Amino acid sequence: MTTAKDIMHPGAQWIPAHETLDRAAQLMRDLDVGALPIADSNERLCGIVTDRDIVVRCVAEGHDPAKITCGELAQGTPRWIETGADVTEVLDEMQGHRIKRLPVIDEQKKLVGMISEADLAQHLTDEQLAKFVESVYTTH
């Protein structure tokens, strides 16, 4: 059985909720990623910030990314998956919520990795991948 741990890109890094969006953008650049999980003061997942969020919900609205924190931008309940979840559960979570990146959490609720579209492409059949793309990218 293929699990989330098998699929994920290990070594994902949090950004604390109190950090500013300009710092998040710098960290994304340094890590060559397009999204960062946001951690609260207890290092628990409280959101995800994407490069698109910074542009569309901060810069394009005339806000200063040096003055807005990641926590202020975080909305809703973050989605995540446990390391032992099988590929079907991963796909159900990502397709059901139309998300392209999914944090992977261990038994101690610590971030251990992220699953992205590129990770899926390496581990799914062509049929599974086509279904994922159709469900996440098409408007319903």
Residue range 79-98, pLDDT digits in tens: 999 999 999 999 999 988 98
Between CA 31 and CA 26 the distance in angstroms is 9
Residues of the domain holding 117: 4-137
Task: Report the chain's terminal Cα–Cα distance, integer Å.
Answer: 31
Between CA 119 and CA 3 the distance in angstroms is 12
**CATH number for 46:** 3.10.580.10
Which two three-digit tokens encode residue 26? Answer: 């710098």
pLDDT tens per residue, range 19-44: 999 999 999 999 999 999 999 888 88
Between CA 8 and CA 2 the distance in angstroms is 11
pTM: 0.85
Domains held by the chain: number: 1
Q: What is the mean pLDDT of residues 46-75?
A: 94
pLDDT tens per residue, range 96-117: 898 889 999 998 888 999 999 8
pLDDT exceeds 90 at position 128: no
